[in-house]
């Protein structure tokens, strides 16, 4: 016997019930990208993007690798050089062997403006800025070059003076090849020599642009009007549905005996659907074939000038996607780093309410946070670099669209099905959970990316 004067809580709980939540899941995020994308219902399973014919360009990067502690050019990636696209492997291998490694320090001038371009530079690591003397003698910034970029191909090919000065922003490594190696290869290969002559004769006034439409304008005299037509691509890109898929298993005794007040099958399905949607967002951003970060064309890539994402950097992105920009997409740490740079400059970004949550904006364009944006070249979000994406959205705006089937059997959400596969001899019911999706970039200038963004820069405001 005890000296208690009333019923204890432990005993009282035997007559009571608890107020329960549905199962919670730490991995669920707002998935702003899936909510922001305009979705196109694809009835045929294939989405074909018909385009006006364009000039073919590569990704403007030459890949390198390390061998015995020395950086080397990947021979096959020299086909990024326009006149080397049809070159044979032996020619590419000999040119790759002509590259030698050099290192540079911050502030070092790699190439002087006006000097003869007798060497082709390929950046392995580090950043460098291209500067030119303006019309009135002022020093003007043209571009920031990063890993894999090369300069200046036109001047190197034609043996012309460099049109700009290249100065290192950071410590880094580059591979350089003398013009003599190209000359020797051209003497051996007639096809290469012909391709080089065609490239040298081209003024390069419209790189990567669409085939022009001949038009006339003016209101004087009676000129002969030009005849024209708009040519289409012979093999337009097609996007097929990809999927995220799993089999959900629920024992029949669990579903029969422990189904109240919360439906066990529905609770299991909801968490599985959330996991599929998280995988879907990660694939839309990072998939090597159709992921948005891997769909950015060469001319739409911007290098961060100082590493930290600054208002100037995001303005450069807006200059790339200036036609109705819709959303930035960035890792939360990158958005925080951008906020610090804005605070340092005294230009705090405006907060706007989108999707029921406050989001930072820049120039009126919201920054959507996503933890699916990857970090590279380091040990994670504290030491690596990341990227910031900017997109124009919608089919009518020739932007970025999400793709999903118009209808699937046993659909529980748009593009996501839950199909009963029956009960096995252990009494377990299996459900095939499938999410079908893809994304398409309709025109190259609908998307741009800021690369080599560092998030570990802090300031002492005191």
* Residue 251 pLDDT grade (very low, low, confident, very high; cuts 50, 70, 90): very high
pTM across the whole model: 0.83
Of the pLDDT bands very low, low, confident and very high (cuts 50, 70, 90), residue 69 is confident
Q: Is residue 117 pLDDT above 80, yes or no?
A: yes
Which is more confident, 365 or 72?
365
Could you give all domains of the chain from N- to C-terminal order, each with its CATH number? 32-49+240-403+441-454 (no CATH), 64-201 (2.60.120.10)
Mean pLDDT of the chain: 88
Query: CB neighbours of 139 closer than 8 A, spacing ≥ 6?
Result: 131, 132, 133
For residues 291 and 284, the answer to whether their CB atoms sit within 8 Å is: yes
For residue 205, the model assigns a pLDDT of 42
Confidence of residue 357 (pLDDT cuts 50, 70, 90): very high
386: exposed, middle or buried (Cβ count in 10 Å: 0-12, 13-18, 19+): buried
382, pLDDT greater than 70 = no
Which tens digits make up the pLDDT trace of 276-335? 999 999 999 999 999 999 999 878 999 998 889 999 999 999 999 999 999 999 999 999
pLDDT tens column, 35-49: 999 999 998 889 999
Cα 272 to its chain centre, rounded Å, is 27
Quick one: tokens of 180?
């003599």
**Looking at residues 332-347, what average pLDDT do you find?**
94
Contact status, residue 409 vs residue 355, Cβ threshold 8 Å: no
Q: Which residues have C-beta within 8 Å of that of residue 159, sequence separation ≥ 6?
A: 116, 117, 118, 179
Segment 171-181 mean pLDDT? 90
Give the residue with greater pLDDT, 164 vs 136.
164
Distance in angstroms (rounded) separating the CA atoms of residues 46 and 63: 32
Per-residue confidence (pLDDT) for residue 3, from 0 to 100: 80
For 115-129, what is the mean pLDDT?
A: 88
Q: Per-residue confidence at 88, pLDDT binned at 50, 70, 90?
A: confident
Distance CA 295, CA 286 (A): 10
Q: What is the mean pLDDT of residues 20-29?
A: 92
DSSP bridge partners of 416 = 413, 435
Structure tokens at 211: 């085939």
Query: Quick one: average pLDDT of 358-374?
Result: 96
Q: Quick one: pLDDT at residue 207? A: 47
* Beta-sheet pairing, 237-240 with 416-423: unpaired
> What percent of the chain has a predicted confidence (pLDDT) above 70?
95
Write the burial class of residue 408 (CB in 10 Å: 0-12 exposed, 13-18 middle, 19+ buried): middle
What is the arithmetic mean of pLDDT over 70-80?
87
pLDDT in tens, 184-234: 888 888 888 888 888 887 654 444 566 677 787 777 888 888 888 888 888
Query: Quick one: average pLDDT of 107-127?
Result: 88
Give the residue with greater pLDDT, 251 vs 211. Answer: 251
Residue 379 has pLDDT above 70, yes or no: no
């Amino acid at each position: 016997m005890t000296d208690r004067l009333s019923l204890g809580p432990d005993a009282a709980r035997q007559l009571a019930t608890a107020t329960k939540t549905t199962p919670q899941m730490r991995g669920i995020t707002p998935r702003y990208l899936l909510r922001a994308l305009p979705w196109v219902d694809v009835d045929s399973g294939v989405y074909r993007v018909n385009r006006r014919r364009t000039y073919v360009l590569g990704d403007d990067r030459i890949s390198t690798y390390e061998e015995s502690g020395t950086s080397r050019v990947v021979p096959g990636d020299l086909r990024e050089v326009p006149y080397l696209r049809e070159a044979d492997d032996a020619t590419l291998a000999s040119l790759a062997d002509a590259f030698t490694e050099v290192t540079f320090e911050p502030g070092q001038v790699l190439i002087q403006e006006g000097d003869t371009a007798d060497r082709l530079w390929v950046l392995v690591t580090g950043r460098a800025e291209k500067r030119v003397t303006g019309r009135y003698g002022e020093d003007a910034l043209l571009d920031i070059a990063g890993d894999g970029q090369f300069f200046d191909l036109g001047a190197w090919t034609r043996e012309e003076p460099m049109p700009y000065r290249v100065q290192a922003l950071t410590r880094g490594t580059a591979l350089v090849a003398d013009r003599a190696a190209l000359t020797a290869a051209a003497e051996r290969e007639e096809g290469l020599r012909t391709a080089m002559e065609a490239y040298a004769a081209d003024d390069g006034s419209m790189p990567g642009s669409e085939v022009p439409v001949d038009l006339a304008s003016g209101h004087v005299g009676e000129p002969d009007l030009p005849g024209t037509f708009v040519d289409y691509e012979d093999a337009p890109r097609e996007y097929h549905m990809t999927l995220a898929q799993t089999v959900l298993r629920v024992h029949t005794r669990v579903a029969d005996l422990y189904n109240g007040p919360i439906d066990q099958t529905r609770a299991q399905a909801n968490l599985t659907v959330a996991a599929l949607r998280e995988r879907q967002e990660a694939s839309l951003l990072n998939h090597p074939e159709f992921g948005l970060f891997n769909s950015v064309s060469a001319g739409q890539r911007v290098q961060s000038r100082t590493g930290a994402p600054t208002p100037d950097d995001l303005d450069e992105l807006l200059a790339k996607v200036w036609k109705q920009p819709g959303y930035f997409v960035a890792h939360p740490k990158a958005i925080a780093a951008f906020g610090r740079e804005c605070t340092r400059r005294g230009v705090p970004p405006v907060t706007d309410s989108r999707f029921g949550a406050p989001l930072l904006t820049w120039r009126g364009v919201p920054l959507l946070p996503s933890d699916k944006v990857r970090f590279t070249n380091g040990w994670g979000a504290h030491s690596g670099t990341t990227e910031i994406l900017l997109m124009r959205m919608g089919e009518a705006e020739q932007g970025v669209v999400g793709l999903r089937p118009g209808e699937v059997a046993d659909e529980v959400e748009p593009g996501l099905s839950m199909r009963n596969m029956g009960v096995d001899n252990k009494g377990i019911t299996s459900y095939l959970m499938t999410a079908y999706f893809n994304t398409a970039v309709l025109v190259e200038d609908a998307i741009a990316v800021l690369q080599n963004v560092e998030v570990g820069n802090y300031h002492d405001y005191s």
